[in-house]
């Protein structure tokens, strides 16, 4: 596992934790996610420029990922907390570099008001770049962020319970719809996270959070079409789940949108 904390150590500076899994242990049967590092570099650059204290963790095992989030839950936080997860996945699950699954509710549970009092009433925002199944949307050579046969350890019914586990004042933006694959392009990265970076580099960063996410959905849905012998002509549709109780402007240096 490698890591790199950046930015000043000011305890009230909004924190960002980026978890990127590009290379997996040989025994895990997961393919390398070529292009994931491009997303990480771009996110680090953009979010640091916007004044966040950014830490990124590369190729962590499942247990190491859980430990990183546990440490975050004990920290003193600023006005919000943002996390980006990029890995192979399934419905309600992401995978560590050792191929072991992590149920998303395990992560969410660390940021309830009881588990993380310093973020009580403050926005918690997750962006998740990972497959949520094997279905392809019919609506560059590339790979998908999943595997052909996946045992996530979840039954079909329990797989969707992660929606109910999202804490209050939290929004989760998924790169793709339930049961569908998410795409990653070698040399370019993911259309989902690159669209996020594009939004944050422009005046749209001053928009309210859900408006930003809705525009990202449109950018991905309308501009992306996969290419390649096996996956050519496929589309991708992100979606988000929000339990925010008020409008938030996490990426703006103003209290109202531009």
Active site residues: 88, 131
Helices (H) and strands (E) counted in the chain, each on its own, are 6, 12
CB atoms within 10 A of CB 225: 14
Q: Which two tokens stand for residue 28?
A: 């895990």
For residues 21 and 57, the answer to whether their CB atoms sit within 8 Å is: no
Task: Please tell me the distance from the alpha carbon of residue 236 to that of residue 135, in angstroms, as a whole number.
Answer: 10
Phi-psi label, residue 63: left if phi above 0, alpha if psi -120 to 50, beta otherwise:
alpha
Reference 18, options 75, 86, 78, 74; nearest CA is 86
d(CA 121, CA 169): 6
Q: How many C-beta atoms lie closer than 10 Å to residue 3's C-beta?
A: 13
């Amino acid at each position: 596992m490698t890591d790199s904390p950046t930015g000043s150590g000011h305890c009230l500076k909004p924190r960002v934790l980026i978890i990127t899994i590009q290379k997996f242990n040989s025994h895990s049967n997961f393919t390398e996610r070529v292009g994931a590092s491009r997303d990480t570099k771009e996110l680090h650059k953009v979010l640091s420029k916007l004044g966040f204290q950014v830490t990124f963790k590369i190729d962590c095992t499942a247990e190491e990922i859980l430990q990183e989030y546990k440490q975050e839950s004990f920290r003193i936080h600023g006005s919000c907390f943002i996390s980006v997860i990029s890995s192979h996945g399934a419905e309600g699950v992401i995978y560590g570099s050792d191929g072991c699954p992590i149920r998303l509710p395990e992560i969410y549970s660390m940021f309830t008001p009881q588990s993380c009092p310093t973020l009580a009433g403050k926005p918690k925002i997750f962006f998740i770049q990972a497959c949520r199944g094997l279905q392809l949307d019919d609506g560059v050579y590339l790979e998908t962020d999943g595997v052909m046969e996946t045992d996530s350890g979840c039954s079909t019914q329990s797989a969707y319970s992660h929606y109910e586990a999202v804490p209050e004042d939290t929004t989760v933006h998924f790169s793709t719809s339930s049961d569908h694959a998410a795409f990653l392009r070698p040399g370019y990265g993911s259309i989902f996270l690159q669209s996020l970076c594009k939004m944050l580099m422009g005046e749209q960063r001053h928009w309210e959070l859900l408006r930003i996410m809705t525009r990202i959905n449109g950018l991905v849905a309308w501009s992306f079409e996969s290419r390649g012998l096996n996956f050519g002509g496929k589309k991708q549709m992100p979606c988000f789940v929000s339990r925010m109780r008020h409008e938030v402007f996490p990426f703006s240096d103003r209290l109202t949108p531009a």
